[in-house]
Amino acid sequence: MAEPRSDILQGTLDLMVLKALEQLGPQHGYGLALRIEQIGESALRVNQGTIYLCLLRLVQKGWITATWGTSENGRKARFYTLSKRGRKQLLVETENWARIAGVMRRVLGPDWTN
């Protein structure tokens, strides 16, 4: 069975989740899904459930941690927090993206930004 999305998208999603956690602080899966929908507009629209695979991977890599807490509607929910290692990783990935974006801009030419 093939993975639901390509590797590039997976990496993108990881980075987006890390970034969202950095900006929002501890957050549950649903909150993160909403946030990503909001920023990604329709271009990056994925099933909300997919985000949980991404969260699982990040937990396994030790970049985020998960704890049980209570959501705003009083339900038991799992909250994710950016770890110290995750923060470092975010810096590295951001740099990577900036570099790739620069390269791609040069490859695709000046009229690409539109």
Q: How many CA atoms lie within 13 A of 9 on its CB side?
A: 14
Closer residue to another protein (CB): 30 or 112 = 30
Distance of closest approach, residue 28 Cβ to another protein, in angstroms: 7
Distance of closest approach, residue 44 Cβ to another protein, in angstroms: 15
Distance of closest approach, residue 1 Cβ to another protein, in angstroms: 8
Residues near 14 by beta carbon (within 8 Å), at least 6 away in sequence: 54, 57, 58, 93
Which one-letter amino acid corresponds to residue 81? T
Distance of closest approach, residue 90 Cβ to another protein, in angstroms: 14
Rounded to 10°, the helix 7-24/84-108 angle is 130
Closer residue to another protein (CB): 61 or 105 = 61
Closer residue to another protein (CB): 41 or 76 = 76
Closer residue to another protein (CB): 76 or 110 = 76
Radius of gyration of the chain measured on its C-alpha atoms: 15
Residue tagged 């799992």 (tokens): 78
Residue tagged 């539109």 (tokens): 114
Q: Footprint of another protein on this chain (CB under 8 A)?
A: 4, 28-30, 33, 47-50, 52-53, 56-57, 59-62, 71, 73, 75-78
